[in-house]
Amino acid sequence: MTEIDLEKERIEILNAFKGLLRATKDRTRENTKLIRKAFDVAVDAHKDVRRKSGEPYIYHPIAVARICAEEIGLGTTSVVCALLHDTVEDTHITLQDIEDLFGEKPRRIIDGLTKIPEVFDENASIQAENFRKMILTISDDIRVVLIKLADRLHNMRTLGSMAPEKRLKIASETKFLYAPLAHRLGLYSIKSELEDLAFKHTEPEVYQQIENNLKSTQDVRNRFIRRFVHPIREALLHEGYIFDIKARTKSISSIWRKMQTKGVPFEEVYDLFAIRVIVDTPVELEKPDCWRIYSLVTDFYQPSPDRLRDWISTPRANGYESLHTTVMSPQGKWVEVQIRSKRMDEIAEKGLAAHYKYKEEKGEDSKFDRWLVEIRELMENPDLSAMDFVNEFKMNLFSEEIYVFTPKGDLRVLPHDATILDFAYDIHTEIGSKCIGAKVNNKLVPLSYQLHNGDQVEIITSAKQKPVDEWLKFVTSARAKQKIKTALFEEKKIISFDGKEILQRKLRQFNIKYTPENIAVLEKYFAYASAQDLYFRVAKGKVDLAKIREIENHNGNLSLEKKGSNVPKDKHELDVYPKINKQEDVLIIGEDFKNIQYRLAKCCNPIPGDEVFGFITINEGIKIHRNNCANAEHLMSKMAYRLVKTKWKKQELTAHLASIRLIGIDNVGIVNKITEIISNQHNVDMKSIFFEANDGIFEGRIKVLVYDKEHLEQLTNNFELIEGVKRVERWDSQDEEAIQ
């Protein structure tokens, strides 16, 4: 065992703390004393604790505090809370101690942080409830969420010391919830890093490949950027601007997304980087100066008219302002140019902290404040389950936005794909509930009509109108969905009250007591989730009340012993969960696993050599998915409690189904060459083949039986050698199997 040099560690901890002090902005002597006090308390509280990596635990709160100060731009109170954020949960320090030492505000922030567990392990509803608690703090103190994001960022940076299954789970959770949240709060660099770190652990091979490609092309890219920027720099100096020009390489995860959505390899992703021009100019000159610089850039390079984005005139909901254009370089490559002021750049980099710093100068509420109001409204619905809340919140986090106008010319910002109903509820709840249609640009349209940028909308209402279930299919925004659900719930309560009276009369007629126990039996017998559902169906005439006679009747009470009435609905759950110890058990594919049925998922068709995990379904045993399956992020982040560690058995060769997609130039005889490789060179059994050609480009989909991942890679490598084949990739038939 390596001996620990405590004196060396002490010096390193002090140096880390000095680095934190240097990173903290606007430090007074009093603030420095407060930070030092928090540091001393944290060092003492965590003195005997080490992280999984073996380093002293205190490095973590120091690192989180530094992210808060340096990368988010938060002040002294946040730095103090970041240093102390784990003390109440993990050490002898209490909330009262925090208040006595540092005051009421740090106590409230640390209390908010303590309510949010670092890793959600329990089950889907508890995990969702924890996230809901964190978002509730937005309406209390936004710093809780910002410090939590800093905490998550440092944990992602040091994720390598965790067990593989924990890494996958935390990475999936980060990608699913925390990266979008950072985006909404305007923290673009943190959002990109969280996505990249999550991608690094969920798709390590692809991540490494793209990282290597970026490194190998870096010198060529730098030479190109220097030549591209030179005339712009000279023109700006000639005009007397104070400015800075930066080149920003796209994040690895965004490059991969581009490769997937465009269906192109790395070499064909044209916008690997963006040029950013940052001008130092007074607020009143920002807009004209940015447009003048745009004019200078387009004097040298031809712009694409379809790729101009003006987020200066209409900033995004999270406060982001910038002018984006894509221009053609002399080398025939498209280049994105972003033009913004120093103030805009600080808001883009530091997000919320900078937003509030400048908000007071402008003296106005922003769209971001309006978003906070919407989130509070979402939380005020007591009937929204925690899981529904997470889904609604995620949906509303960061869809693209459109800009539409009222008849008087007021601008409203709505999610992409918003409909007439979304717009109506955005104006006012009453207008939404009474909406029967609208005029868009003076043309009559129905409730389901999808709005577009620049539309002018006039809502038509009727006093007789009221929300119906079908409306939920027509809306995109969380606000509209929540308002419709609330109205439907109130309507259902009124109808259910009538149904309750009908049922009471019928029970009296059959000489049966109206008791909670008897209602519970009826719920089970008619298979409804709650008494209210039962009453509602009775009122609607959907329940055959004559069947009550079929239930055994003893002394005026319904029997709970009726055959089939007390059989659990989810017998599978009672069978499977108690048999599995998730900490120790490993499912070996090819061997018996506690007499529990398992099979390979059709959505991703895993083969030996793939990294895999098991997922306990509701009624089909355990399904084995690849770690990079399209469904994996959803399963790992929202239903981690149903995952089982899984490995391949080292066994005799067994063939497994795999699907391959080929794309290339439609040359004569190319199909023959492909089938020859399958049948002759690799002795592979082909299950199906499909080829389609269009305008000289062919796409082929082949299903083959292979022994393992290595066998499949040998086959795909040979396909890539065929002249005319441009891309070969594994193809998942993701629509073939829904998640159970």
The residues annotated as belonging to the active site are: 89-90
What is the rounded CA–CA span in Å between residue 247 and residue 243?
A: 14
Residues whose CB is less than 8 angstroms from the CB of residue 646 and which lie 6 or more positions away in sequence, other chains included: 586, 587, 588, 589, 612, 613, 614, 624
C-alpha pair distances (Å), 629 with each of 172, 600, 730:
12, 12, 11
DSSP, collapsed to helix, strand or coil, labels residue 462 as: coil
C-alpha pair distances (Å), 653 with each of 604, 623, 648, 688, 729:
20, 21, 12, 21, 23
What is the rounded CA–CA span in Å between residue 504 and residue 500?
A: 6
89 within 8 A of 43, measured Cβ to Cβ:
no
Q: What is the DSSP string of 298-343?
A: HHHSEEPGGG-EETTTS--TT----EEEEEE-TTS-EEEEEEEEHH
What is the rounded CA–CA span in Å between residue 202 and residue 208?
A: 12
What is the rounded CA–CA span in Å between residue 431 and residue 698?
A: 52
C-alpha pair distances (Å), 24 with each of 106, 152, 188, 360, 404:
17, 20, 21, 22, 42
Measured in degrees and rounded to the nearest 5, phi and psi for residue 74 equal: -80, 165
Count CB neighbours of 561 within 10 A: 10
Residues whose CB is less than 8 angstroms from the CB of residue 730 and which lie 6 or more positions away in sequence, other chains included: 658, 659, 660, 661, 712, 716
C-alpha pair distances (Å), 206 with each of 133, 209, 213, 262, 290:
35, 5, 11, 17, 38
What the block records as the tokens of 468 is 């119906």
Residues whose CB is less than 8 angstroms from the CB of residue 120 and which lie 6 or more positions away in sequence, other chains included: 126, 127, 130, 131, 173, 640
Q: Which of 536, 551, 640, 611 is nearest to 124 (CA)?
A: 640
Please give the DSSP secondary-structure letter assigned to residue 52: T
Phi-psi category of 594—alpha, beta or left, where left has phi over 0 and alpha has psi -120 to 50? Answer: left
The radius of gyration of the chain's CA atoms, rounded to the nearest angstrom, is: 30
First to last CA, the chain: 47
Burial of 240 (C-beta count, 10 Å sphere; 0-12/13-18/19+): exposed
What the block records as the tokens of 117 is 């567990």
Max CA separation in the chain (angstroms): 100
Q: Which of 9, 5, 6, 28 is nearest to 17 (CA)?
A: 9
What is the rounded CA–CA span in Å between residue 432 and residue 482?
A: 12
State the pairing for strand pair 598-600/656-665. unpaired
Please give the sequence-ordered ranges of beta strands (E in DSSP) within 462-601, or none if there are none: 553-554, 557-558, 587-589, 598-600
State the pairing for strand pair 443-445/302-303. unpaired
What the block records as the tokens of 325 is 């254009």
What is the rounded CA–CA span in Å between residue 22 and residue 25?
A: 8
545 within 8 A of 586, measured Cβ to Cβ:
no
Segment holding 414, helix H or strand E: strand 411-415
Three-state SS for 658-670 is EEEEEEEECCCCH
249 within 8 A of 214, measured Cβ to Cβ:
yes
